[in-house]
Amino acid sequence: EPEVTQTPSHQVTQMGQEVILRCVPISNHLYFYWYRQILGQKVEFLVSFYNNEISEKSEIFDDQFSVERPDGSNFTLKIRSTKLEDSAMYFCASRTILAGQETQYFGPGTRLLVL
């Protein structure tokens, strides 16, 4: 069964460093999303992406964040200068464009720890 994959599974970085989180959505999906979840808390929407541009973004998704679809398969989230409060689990999700099949499929997540 097709699935969303994410790399790396864990990343430790120093405050102020740039990180790039990678996602490979399901191949025929056209809507892509990034979420984060601080340990023990709710899932927070970061950004949605369709047709090679951002559809919506949350207040969390400030100038330090960017997304890119550099090729036909990868979808990346970049944090330019990490802060301690960026430590969280980051999930990528994707869904198809087909009506009646709106399920979002989540990847396994990347656990980011900023020291």
Nearest C-alpha neighbor of 94 from the set 44, 22, 31: 31
Which segment (14-22, 65-73, 77-85, 104-112) binds other proteins by CB under 8 A? Answer: 104-112
Among 29, 82, 107, 112, the residue binding other proteins under the rule CB under 8 A is: 107
The two beta strands, 110-114 and 10-13, are: parallel
Among 42, 51, 70, 84, the residue binding other proteins under the rule CB under 8 A is: 42
The two beta strands, 10-13 and 19-24, are: unpaired
Provide the CA 89 distance to its chain's centre, in angstroms: 10
Name which of 9 and 81 has its Cβ closer to other proteins.
9
Q: Which residues bind other proteins (CB under 8 A)?
A: 31, 33, 35, 41-45, 48, 50, 55-56, 58, 91, 93, 102-109
